[in-house]
Amino acid sequence: MQDPQEPADTGEEWVGAREGSRWTFLTNHARILLEVARDPQARLRDMAARAGITERAAQLIVNDLEAAGYLQRTRVGRRNHYTIDSTRRLRHPAEADHRIEGLLALFTQRDTAEPTA
């Protein structure tokens, strides 16, 4: 599995990346939430791999999101199905007037939009 501290192998470097500077704008909680939005039936191991974190870290994040009311987990056979409450607000007081639906729309629209030339 790829080191989560390294840029994805896309042929591009992180924008503004420099030696010793490994921060990103999105937290792992946001990344897992976006993975659930993209595929509500994804396995934790797959979400973790796409987010660049361990499966255990993904499990803890899903538990956090569920306890805070952002996710609901339903058992369907041997798999979990996740439902997001997109009306929930961002947690930081500076962004608390925004719902997570905006964040989800921003990053999931990009996934389905046709590339522009």
Which pLDDT tens digit goes with each residue over 11-36? 445 555 566 667 889 999 999 999 99
Q: Is the Cβ–Cβ distance between 53 and 45 less than 8 Å?
A: no
Q: Where are the domains of the chain?
A: 28-108
Which pLDDT tens digit goes with each residue over 31-66? 999 999 999 999 999 999 999 999 999 999 999 999
For domain 28-108, say whether CATH 1.10.10.10 is its number. Answer: yes
CA nearest to 106, candidates 14, 38, 55, 29: 38
- The strand ranges marked E within the chain are 71-76, 79-84
